Amino acid sequence: MKKVVVLVLALVCGMLFMPGQCFGQEQAAEQEIVIDTGTTAWMLTSTSLVLLMTPGLAMFYGGLVRTKNVVGTMMHSFAAMAIIGVLWAICGYAMTFGTSHGWCGWDWEKFMLSGIDSKMRASGIPEVVFAMFQGKFAIITPALIAGAFAERVKFRGYCILIILWSLLIYNPLAHWVWGGGYLTGLAKDFAGGTVIHISAGISGLVMALYLGSRRGYPKTAMHPNNLVMTLMGAGLLWVGWFGFNAGSSESSGLLTGQALTVTQVAASAGAVTWMLIEAFHHQKATSLGFVSGMLAGLVAITPAAGDVMVPGAIVLGVAASIVCYLALRLKSKLGYDDSLDVFGIHGVAGIVGALLLTFFLRNVPDHGIGRQFYYQLEGVIVSGVYAGVVTLILTVRIDKTVGLRMSAPAEMAGMDHSLHGESGYGMLNMN
Amino acid sequence: MKKVVVLVLALVCGMLFMPGQCFGQEQAAEQEIVIDTGTTAWMLTSTSLVLLMTPGLAMFYGGLVRTKNVVGTMMHSFAAMAIIGVLWAICGYAMTFGTSHGWCGWDWEKFMLSGIDSKMRASGIPEVVFAMFQGKFAIITPALIAGAFAERVKFRGYCILIILWSLLIYNPLAHWVWGGGYLTGLAKDFAGGTVIHISAGISGLVMALYLGSRRGYPKTAMHPNNLVMTLMGAGLLWVGWFGFNAGSSESSGLLTGQALTVTQVAASAGAVTWMLIEAFHHQKATSLGFVSGMLAGLVAITPAAGDVMVPGAIVLGVAASIVCYLALRLKSKLGYDDSLDVFGIHGVAGIVGALLLTFFLRNVPDHGIGRQFYYQLEGVIVSGVYAGVVTLILTVRIDKTVGLRMSAPAEMAGMDHSLHGESGYGMLNMN
Amino acid sequence: MKKVVVLVLALVCGMLFMPGQCFGQEQAAEQEIVIDTGTTAWMLTSTSLVLLMTPGLAMFYGGLVRTKNVVGTMMHSFAAMAIIGVLWAICGYAMTFGTSHGWCGWDWEKFMLSGIDSKMRASGIPEVVFAMFQGKFAIITPALIAGAFAERVKFRGYCILIILWSLLIYNPLAHWVWGGGYLTGLAKDFAGGTVIHISAGISGLVMALYLGSRRGYPKTAMHPNNLVMTLMGAGLLWVGWFGFNAGSSESSGLLTGQALTVTQVAASAGAVTWMLIEAFHHQKATSLGFVSGMLAGLVAITPAAGDVMVPGAIVLGVAASIVCYLALRLKSKLGYDDSLDVFGIHGVAGIVGALLLTFFLRNVPDHGIGRQFYYQLEGVIVSGVYAGVVTLILTVRIDKTVGLRMSAPAEMAGMDHSLHGESGYGMLNMN
Amino acid sequence: MKLITAIIQPDKLDEVRESLLKAEITRITVSRCSGRGRADQVDLYRGQVVAPDLINKVRLDIACNDNYVDIAIDAILTAARHGAEGKIGDGKIFVTNLERCIRIRTGETGGEAI
Amino acid sequence: MKLITAIIQPDKLDEVRESLLKAEITRITVSRCSGRGRADQVDLYRGQVVAPDLINKVRLDIACNDNYVDIAIDAILTAARHGAEGKIGDGKIFVTNLERCIRIRTGETGGEAI
Amino acid sequence: MKLITAIIQPDKLDEVRESLLKAEITRITVSRCSGRGRADQVDLYRGQVVAPDLINKVRLDIACNDNYVDIAIDAILTAARHGAEGKIGDGKIFVTNLERCIRIRTGETGGEAI
Ligand SMILES: Nc1ncnc2c1ncn2[C@@H]1O[C@H](COP(=O)(O)OP(=O)(O)O)[C@@H](O)[C@H]1O
Ligand SMILES: Nc1ncnc2c1ncn2[C@@H]1O[C@H](COP(=O)(O)OP(=O)(O)O)[C@@H](O)[C@H]1O
Ligand SMILES: Nc1ncnc2c1ncn2[C@@H]1O[C@H](COP(=O)(O)OP(=O)(O)O)[C@@H](O)[C@H]1O
């Protein structure tokens, strides 16, 4: 814990002496871009919607674990909101969208967002709005990973992990794909299929493998403590995804509408497909299946939202659902414990979406479908390998020093009792 | 189940061979309408808000049934999100807003939304945004009906029912009232009082009567399993209704603001009225009463939102609350089992709103109040009779073939166990 | 109860004879302001977001009380939504933003919002939208206070209290600070630090002291019945606060983006700080601590949102968290029962924010920091003293007449049973 | 040693506990249950026997030495009744024989471990 | 007087209650529990003994006079079984001796108070 | 046959179950309860006797044949204690006599049905 504090103190000090308001001059020149209040309004709304996804994810994940881990699991998402919330404003935005220096970007004037306080972007929105919108993506990505090692990690280790993960993996990756780095403009990744879902999926897989299964898995069935809350969370995720995808157009117009449309269609198609599969296999359509299919559809359309039309969205949703369903069956055969299927849904559907979108592009690129597919593959592999390798290093280091895996008695007692000293549902006992 | 699959397969095949991107030429001409980013932003937001109402409804309804049916009841709303979500994009929009052919509309270029991919509407928003906004209404309407026969229908039958209900009832009705059909422009129905609430209310009533009561009703009190969740759902419904009503102005200006204002006022007035009634009758104001009054107010203002002012909104809210309260008392006398009062609230308050609004119009129409009242009555009767008759036919057919009513043992065991193989609140038992 | 009804009836009658639509002429002149659809869109969205905070607050507070009081506690927020919802439209807006008459404002044309039905504001939004946005603030403020005397007040007394509190405290205060009253323009209060949080905090403190502790406090630990719901509520509050603060800019541009940015940063900084403090003191970071810190940060940035930059936001968040943490420790020493820490969080963080912001202003005012600090202090003291004194008078009067404190047996049985005849979680028992 | 099991109305829990405390009985185990007693609502509905609904109750389990049994029962009886004459649904008390009792912390058994 | 405690599957609760009603046994207390019976899922997992998961069950407590005991047990047995031959997990019935029984409302004791 | 009822701390549930499994006791019923044991927090508050709060506990019910009783108790005792010396609140074990036991699926009774 001490190390964290030192880090934080260092940053706080740094910020007090930073060159605050001295960028006034340079800004003047750019100020001619007129503000587009409509686009700004939609980007502000999108920012709110994407932020809403994080509590939505907390509910989604929180409902799926066992009762004794519900608070701990929700805290994984909430902690990301707070920790990355500060970190992104301090240096994350600068690393991602600063002038490219190869591995990552950096501009001192973007440090603490001070230099962009009154800048505008070419799209007619204030740059701070763009920075905040992007910050919400940086928040939700580490929160996603937490599902892979649910119910068995220490909170302290987790906090340190997401700080480092964000600095060493998310920011560079996002920089490469969106910020002017070397993948920018090649692979199509409209709203973060590679940067967010594939990187989270692979990182989750690596950590789940390294940390090992929960005690008792897979012999002991671990039933969701609150499917009702998982459904509520799924509802918020769906709605929030409109901000996620349609907001990624950085506009409020045709492209925005198109992105929203295919998002809606792919989510629906994914959910319907999973229900049908289950109806055939088990004669019963489960609600957990429904939300898994919905999520698969949403993840698959994420990289494609700006570039495919309704039929493509249906195919992507259907395909993602089918492939994820098979992936989950494979997982139970392989027996590793990716507890809430971060890889099985986000990783797999992310890959399906990133590759399959090539065949449903609204405008076929000049370099042809084959070449585009190659770019897509490159994006997938680069994100996957980079995220996987660095995550492994981080996990090992943290587990060896601060400790990441909970002790057996603590795990049996549950995270809520052992790590947070609370219990999620006081109502269960008379009080 | 097989039939459903065949249907879906057929549609999917159809879509793969459809004339995809061949409408490019015709669009060029219309492209001169400049996009209004502000209006687009609000319509995108409204679309998100109305989508949020469906999980809100799932929570509202889910909290009111017994514990053993909570997942099944929430799945009614979620299934509508997915199924109608796909169906609307494929053919619902074309049937509703295509060129009128009498019973319904149709344009091949609206099939799969392909031809409108880059069209604009006169209001300055992309047509896909309008299509998505309208699609959310198509989703929530069948979900509303599900409350009338809660706790006793088979999931498979329900899914087939809502597909057919949407195709045969919702799309034509919406076409008549909004899409250029023969009622367009006569009856005032700003945001769907007739199309949505009256048609859902009457359909629910018909189905509740045909399917019969839940086992044990009304002797056995059936307590809500989670009023707390019902309250949360009510909160989301209220907020979502701003999108519902203010979004129906298809603008971001004066009319939008006026619609939002009266929505807020009518909801408040309805809730306050019900609390006062209960305070007099029972000395206790229940939370269930509160949300019922709120809902009555919201439903009543729906057809009127664009045309009445604050005093009218108060009267509508108060009147709807009083009439619904009486209607529910009458129901318990009559003894039929409209489980969550779809008719008692949506049907009755919808009728109250549609008729009463005539006397509070901001601008009295040229043809006079009497004539307007006649139009309103016509709208109510046409929607009610059409929805009622077709629903009856559908219900009987489905119940006789696929089966709609659950068997007695399955009903006693609960939908969650019998139909979905899940239980909503794992936390209730040690695990 | 009778008195309430008489009041309501009187108002309803008044409204039916009011000079309704006779303001048409005067409006014509102002109609030249063109509507800004983008700003309108954002203000409509903000209105929805701030409304969402009230159910969010219901969840936040509802989760913290004991099981037997969950419905009653949530109803405090919901009742405010309905009661103040009507009251604000009838006369609240007129009292706050009408032409100043010293103690409060008033314009007959603002009564029932009739005269502003089609007016525009200089910012390019319809005045009704502004009225509705402001109305949401009027709703949430009394709902906030309810946390201070949770689990022990009669519902009837509470309803009367919030009506009078709104009329006699909120409307005048808001008028002084924002509506053209004598504090307007002096103290910086961007989104309601003094008017909302300090006034609510002090009022809560006064009432908690007057009404006395809950039976058993502080010897008996009173565990939260549903921390999970409190976390969900916290999520909604954070998201809603974007509307609260960024909406208070009454624009959709640079200032809006800046306000949103510092809101995000201060919330994060507050939450992180509280987690660190707890990690040091107790080796465990609780979720309740997390949300307390988050709330402290959000409250502290509220008056400052338009005027500080990221470093200032971090300092405000950190400082608010630390001071609130100390305040809560002090409270447990003093032993009074501000049940959900309305004063400890809203009051204290509100004061911290209002004073501290002076030192982080983006643009130092011409009259210098010292003078500004004096204005801030004046704002704090005026709001605090006025709210405190009038609240005390109201509380005593209502407690002596209608009754405010529940009887001992009723309190032991719980509000849900005694006052509402319901139980929040039917699922807890087999049914 | 006896095991006293009382089923009471939830709204009386606090009063019963205070009454037991006054009688110096502090150890107790409480759990939720649902129940149906006097079954006056049982009836035929459309010709079918219908299971009447269950009502929320609270179950108290108190292990005590023989000389405390009557004291405990009296404490419950006075506090759990609604009004002077009681109301239907006020509840019931069951007494069974307790053969052994062991305190987990110390391993003590018998009367001392109660 | 005996106290009958039955652990049954949740989906059979309504059927069991109707069956008891037919046998004129109306008074009952119901609560949630989790259980594990026939432990065929217990196994070694990577060399460790693993606690198999608990399954949702419902617990019925019925106090009745001696002449009603067999009637009650029969009523439960018929209704709680899944299918004609029963399924693993169908549950179990325990009978203990009830020494005293007191109706809180009236203070009646013994057989009349059941 | 005896019925063993143990009230333990929730965080020890998994350990106790593993310990019972090792002792070859697999059948069990578990439910939530709240409890108050050593009542050192009871006190006067502003002159009023106050009901101290209830703490979350878990209740285990194990029916077993006489020769298994001590084995089961030992298994619980070792696993449910916090640390070597135990902590206040570790819980308690009650043993009552079980007269009959019936397996619903087969209708078997007595020792075999346990
Ligand atoms: N014979 C019984 N067996 C099991 N539980 C009982 C019995 N009698 C009463 N109870 C429990 O006590 C609760 C209150 O019973 P009450 O209605 O006061 O009893 P009575 O009808 O005998 O006056 C019931 O809801 C039930 O849970
Ligand atoms: N010996 C026992 N002690 C405690 N509870 C038992 C016992 N045997 C069975 N139960 C309870 O009965 C439930 C159903 O048991 P079941 O699997 O039908 O028993 P069996 O394996 O003996 O056929 C179990 O889940 C458990 O709650
Ligand atoms: N005499 C009793 N009657 C009923 N329950 C008891 C009794 N003694 C203990 N318990 C239960 O056991 C739990 C743990 O008790 P504990 O504090 O360990 O007991 P002790 O104070 O005797 O050491 C209590 O919370 C309560 O639920």
pLDDT in tens, B96-149: 999 999 899 999 999 999 999 999 999 999 999 999 999 999 999 999 999 999
Higher-pLDDT residue of C21 and A346 is A346
Helices C310-334 and C348-356 sit at what angle, rounded to 10 degrees? 140
Measured distance CA(B297)–CA(B283) in Å, rounded: 22
pLDDT band at B307 (very low <50, low <70, confident <90, very high): very high
Higher-pLDDT residue of B181 and A15 is B181
Query: What is the widest separation between alpha-carbon atoms in chain C?
Result: 68
* Complete DSSP assignment for C35-82: P-HHHHHHHHHHHHHHHHHHHHHHHHHHHHS-GGGHHHHHHHHHHHHH
Strand-strand pairing, F44-45 and F48-49: antiparallel
Lowest mean pLDDT among A65-74, B58-67, D70-79, F77-86: F77-86
Q: What is the pLDDT of residue B346?
A: 97
CATH number for the segment(s) A39-215+226-405: 1.10.3430.10
B409 touches chain E (CB under 8 A): yes
Q: What is the pLDDT of residue F49?
A: 57
Measured distance CA(F11)–CA(C306) in Å, rounded: 48
Q: What is the pLDDT of residue A9?
A: 47
Task: Give which of C52, B420, B13 is closest to A291, Cα–Cα.
Answer: B420
Task: Give which of B210, B229, B199, B240 is closest to B53, Cα–Cα.
Answer: B240
Q: What is the pLDDT of residue E48?
A: 52
Contact F37, F56 (CB under 8 A): no
DSSP 8-state class, residue C34? P
Token pair listed for A223: 């039933």
**CA D17 to ligand 1 center in whole angstroms:** 20
Q: Looking at chain A, which residue has its C-alpha nearest residue B31?
A: A254
Token pair listed for B288: 């269930």
F69-102 burial, b for 16+ CB within 10 Å, e for fewer?
beebbebbbebbbbeeebeebbbbbbbbebebbb
Find the angle CA(B215)-CA(B217)-CA(B220) to the nearest 5 degrees.
100
Residue of D2, D4, D29 best suited for mutating to test ligand 3, as the one with most atoms within 8 Å of CB: D29
Amino acid at C352: V
How buried is D84 (Cβ within 10 angstroms: 0-12 exposed, 13-18 middle, 19+ buried)? exposed
A-proximal residues of C, 283-312, CB under 8 Å: 284-288, 290-291, 293-294, 309-311
Q: What is the pLDDT of residue A15?
A: 43
* pLDDT mean across residues, chain B: 92
Q: What is the pLDDT of residue A102?
A: 87
B69 touches chain E (CB under 8 A): no
Length in residues, chain B: 431
Q: What is the pLDDT of residue B182?
A: 79
A1–C279 CB contact, under 8 Å = yes
Contact B182, B174 (CB under 8 A): no
Contact C3, C87 (CB under 8 A): no
DSSP 8-state class, residue C258? H
Higher-pLDDT residue of E110 and C58 is C58
**Res. D40: pLDDT tops 60:** no
> Which residues, at least 6 apart from B269, have a Cβ–Cβ distance to it below 8 Å?
B297, B313, B314, B316, B317, B318, B321, C82, C85, C86
Q: Looking at chain B, which residue has its C-alpha nearest residue A221?
A: B431
Task: Give which of F113, A266, D104, E93 is closest to B132, Cα–Cα.
Answer: A266
- CATH 3.30.70.120 applies to domain D2-113: yes
E-proximal residues of D, 9-28, CB under 8 Å: none
**CA D25 to ligand 3 center in whole angstroms:** 11
What average pLDDT does this structure show over C116-143? 97
**CA F67 to ligand 2 center in whole angstroms:** 18
pLDDT band at F54 (very low <50, low <70, confident <90, very high): confident
Element (H, E) at D61: strand D55-64
Length in residues, chain E: 114
What average pLDDT does this structure show over C263-271? 98
pLDDT band at A430 (very low <50, low <70, confident <90, very high): confident
Contact A79, C274 (CB under 8 A): no
> Which residues, at least 6 apart from A330, have a Cβ–Cβ distance to it below 8 Å?
none
Residue of F2, F27, F66, F103 best suited for mutating to test ligand 2, as the one with most atoms within 8 Å of CB: F27
Measured distance CA(F66)–CA(F98) in Å, rounded: 10
* Complete DSSP assignment for A258-321: HHHHHHHHHHHHHHHHHHHHHHHHHS---HHHHHHHHHHHHHHHTTTTTTB-HHHHHHHHHHHH
- Predicted confidence (pLDDT) per residue in A373-396, tens digit: 999 999 999 999 999 999 999 999
**CA D13 to ligand 1 center in whole angstroms:** 16
Element (H, E) at D107: none
What average pLDDT does this structure show over A149-161? 97
* Complete DSSP assignment for C272-301: HHHHHHHHHHHS---HHHHHHHHHHHHHHH
Contact B379, B194 (CB under 8 A): yes
Token pair listed for F31: 């439910």
Q: Looking at chain B, which residue has its C-alpha nearest residue F58?
A: B430
**Res. A72: pLDDT tops 90:** yes
Q: Is the CB–ligand 1 distance for residue E92 below 6 Å? A: no
Q: What is the pLDDT of residue C220?
A: 80
Token pair listed for B420: 């979905």
Strand-strand pairing, E28-36 and D28-36: antiparallel
Measured distance CA(A258)–CA(B128) in Å, rounded: 7
Atom 7 (ligand 2) nearest CA: F27
Residues with CB under 6 A from ligand 2: E 7, 35-38, 55, 57, 88-92; F 27-29, 61-63, 103, 105, 114
Measured distance CA(D93)–CA(D76) in Å, rounded: 9
**Res. C22: pLDDT tops 70:** no
Measured distance CA(C391)–CA(B33) in Å, rounded: 56
Give chain D positions within 8 Å (CB) of E63: 92, 94
- Predicted confidence (pLDDT) per residue in A109-143, tens digit: 999 999 999 999 999 999 999 999 999 999 999 99
* Complete DSSP assignment for A1-37: -HHHHHHHHHHHHHHHTS-TTTTHHHHHHHTTSPP-H
* Complete DSSP assignment for C152-204: SB-HHHHHHHHHHHIIIIIHHHHHHHHSSSTTTTTS--SS-IIIIIIHHHHHH
Measured distance CA(C207)–CA(C202) in Å, rounded: 9
**Res. C325: pLDDT tops 90:** yes
Q: Sign of the CA dihedral C329, C335, C339, C342?
A: negative
Place of tokens 């301090």: A90
- pTM: predicted TM-score of the whole model, two decimal places: 0.94
Alpha carbon separation from B192 to B199, B249, B300 (Å, rounded): 10, 12, 10
Element (H, E) at F96: strand F91-97
Q: Looking at chain B, which residue has its C-alpha nearest residue A266?
A: B86
pLDDT lower than 70: segments of chain E: 39-52
Contact C105, C18 (CB under 8 A): no
Q: Read off φ and ψ for residue A340, nearest 5 degrees.
A: -110, 25
Contact A390, A383 (CB under 8 A): no
Q: What is the pLDDT of residue B220?
A: 80
Atom 26 (ligand 3) nearest CA: F35
> Which residues, at least 6 apart from B411, have a Cβ–Cβ distance to it below 8 Å?
B151, B152, B214, B215, B418
In a mutagenesis test of the C interface, which of B36, B231, B363 is the best target, namely the one with the most C β-carbons within 10 Å?
Answer: B231
Pick left, alpha or beta for residue B91 (phi over 0 → left; psi -120 to 50 → alpha; otherwise beta): alpha
Q: What is the pLDDT of residue F51?
A: 65
Measured distance CA(B36)–CA(B48) in Å, rounded: 18
Taking the domains of chain F in order of start, what are their residue ranges? Answer: 2-113
- Predicted confidence (pLDDT) per residue in D56-89, tens digit: 999 999 999 999 999 999 999 999 999 888 888 8
**Beta-bridge partner residues of C355:** none
Token pair listed for F35: 């409890």
**CA D33 to ligand 2 center in whole angstroms:** 20
F52–C223 CB contact, under 8 Å = no
Provide the terminal-to-terminal Cα distance of chain F, rounded to the nearest Å.
8
**Res. C10: pLDDT tops 60:** no
Element (H, E) at B387: helix B368-400
- Predicted confidence (pLDDT) per residue in A254-311, tens digit: 999 999 999 999 999 999 999 999 999 889 999 999 999 999 999 999 999 999 999 9
**Beta-bridge partner residues of E32:** E58
Give chain E positions within 8 Å (CB) of D38: 27
Q: Read off φ and ψ for residue C257, nearest 5 degrees.
A: -65, -40
Lowest mean pLDDT among B227-236, B418-427, C182-191, C417-426: C182-191
Measured distance CA(E109)–CA(E111) in Å, rounded: 7
Q: How many CB atoms neighbour CB B22 within 10 A?
A: 11
What average pLDDT does this structure show over B17-25? 39
Number of alpha helices (DSSP H) and beta strands (DSSP E) in chain A = 17, 0
Amino acid at C272: V
Long-range contacts, stretch F81-89, CB < 8 angstroms, 24+ apart: F81/D104, F81/D105, F82/F9, F82/F12, F85/D105, F86/D104, F86/D105, F86/D106, F87/D105, F88/D105, F88/F37, F88/F38, F88/F40, F89/F9, F89/F37, F89/F38, F89/F55
**Res. C6: pLDDT tops 90:** no
Measured distance CA(B126)–CA(A254) in Å, rounded: 5
E51–A222 CB contact, under 8 Å = no
Query: What is the widest separation between alpha-carbon atoms in chain E?
Result: 60
**Res. B13: pLDDT tops 70:** no
A216 touches chain E (CB under 8 A): yes
Higher-pLDDT residue of A348 and C12 is A348
Contact B288, B230 (CB under 8 A): yes
